[in-house]
Amino acid sequence: MKSHVWRPLFIVLGVAALALIGQVFLVPKDFGVWQRGYMYGWHRKGNEAEWKKVSVKYRTSAYCKDCHRDKFDDLRQSPHANIMCENCHGPGGNHPEDPPSLTIDRRRALCVRCHCRLPYKASGRSAIRGINPVTHYPEAECVMCHYPHNPKLEAKR
């Protein structure tokens, strides 16, 4: 073969060899899949204690139900049933120890992100009741008329 074929081949082989040599020096020895297999992805065995110290930022709706049972029950019987509390209220991390960490967001933009009418008939979003935010009471917060935990119920104040 002529040299115009061999030169690129040698370059590719050289780059591959450099990558393999770099892997030996840059990847920690305890990095791998270990006994859990590929289902849980790659991790570094020596890093497990470090990750155990990380506090959980997001909880589930089950975390909220003990203190906010009325809201939880309303939500479970509504079209919003499969939406976690934290999608609207933010991460529950240190709540209730640090109540200001959890805010009640009444902004219109929060509702409009799901309830803005979209022209895409093939998407699942077309099944969600949508509004035109420009014409549907643009100056009002949605919670003035709608109860967000269960929109089928009258607005609770």
Examine the domain organization and report whether 37 and 101 are in the same domain: no
How many domains are there within the chain?
2
pLDDT at 39: 61
Examine the domain organization and report whether 19 and 44 are in the same domain: yes
Runs of H (alpha helix) within 27-107: 48-52, 61-65, 69-76, 85-89
pLDDT at 19: 95
Of 85, 93, 80, 88, whose CA–CA distance to 105 is shortest?
Answer: 88
pLDDT at 58: 86
- In-domain check, residue 152: no
d(CA 137, CA 131): 10
Examine the domain organization and report whether 67 and 140 are in the same domain: yes
End-to-end alpha-carbon separation of the chain, Å?
83
d(CA 59, CA 91): 7
Range of the domain at 115: 61-144
pLDDT at 33: 67
pLDDT at 56: 79
pLDDT at 95: 81
Q: Is the pLDDT of residue 59 over 80?
A: yes
pLDDT at 2: 65
Examine the domain organization and report whether 43 and 85 are in the same domain: no
Q: Is the pLDDT of residue 101 over 80?
A: no
Tokens at 21, concatenated: 């040599």
